[in-house]
Amino acid sequence: MNVNTVALAADHAGFELKNRLAAAVRERGLEPLDLGCHSTDSVDYPDMAALLAEALADGRATRGVLVCGTGIGISIAANRAPHIRCGLCHDVTTARLTREHNDANVLALGARIVGVGVALDCLDAFLDTAYEGGRHARRVDKLARGGG
Ligand code: RB5
């Protein structure tokens, strides 16, 4: 399991922001695993989310970042995989809380919703914040069991 690797994937709408985030991951001394897309040619966000889910399932990375236009489609797709807890975040507070409360292992961002500065701040909060456990553990355990 590669704990220093952060997997990234995006559709065409998230391509440019994903590249900025990958560079920021590297600047932090972590290893970005860029799963694409690799141009602004149109691709389908469920396919990109599936690539990232596979990377976390097989241990190539322990954390991930997904980007599409709104972040909505790609986060819905990612959360269909039982081992993924993907938080769609719009600011530092949601990025911090999805780690503290949800133990999110994937951050989703909307490139048409948040600016680059906010996205980079969200990445920092996501990577810097620990899961609180405690009262949240019962709820996160229920997610792993598929619901309530
Ligand atoms: C692509 O045009 C767009 O629909 C996609 O990036 C995303 O916003 C879907 O949720």
Give the model confidence (pLDDT) of 25-54 as tens digits: 999 999 999 999 999 999 999 999 999 999
Q: Dihedral, CA atoms, 78, 82, 88, 92, nearest 10 degrees?
A: -130
Spell out the domain ranges in the chain.
5-144
CA distances from 119 to 1, 116, 123, 138 (A): 26, 5, 6, 30
Report the range of poorest mean pLDDT among 13-17, 96-100, 143-147.
Answer: 143-147
For domain 5-144, the CATH class is: alpha beta
pLDDT tier for residue 18 given thresholds of 50, 70 and 90: very high
Any catalytic annotation for residue 101?
yes
pLDDT for residue 1 is more than 90? no
Predicted local confidence at residue 147, as pLDDT: 72
Q: Residue range 128-140: average pLDDT?
A: 96
Kindly state the tokens that stand for 76. Answer: 């819905």
Q: Which of 21, 52, 33, 49 is nearest to 125 (CA)?
A: 21
Is the pTM of the predicted complex or chain greater than 0.95? yes
Any catalytic annotation for residue 68?
yes
Please say whether the beta carbons of 96 and 125 come within 8 A.
yes
Give me the percent of the chain exceeding a pLDDT of 70.
100
pLDDT for residue 104 is more than 80? yes
Q: Which one of the listed residues 12, 38, 86, 101 is annotated catalytic?
A: 101
| Ligand 1 center to 73 CA (angstroms) | 6
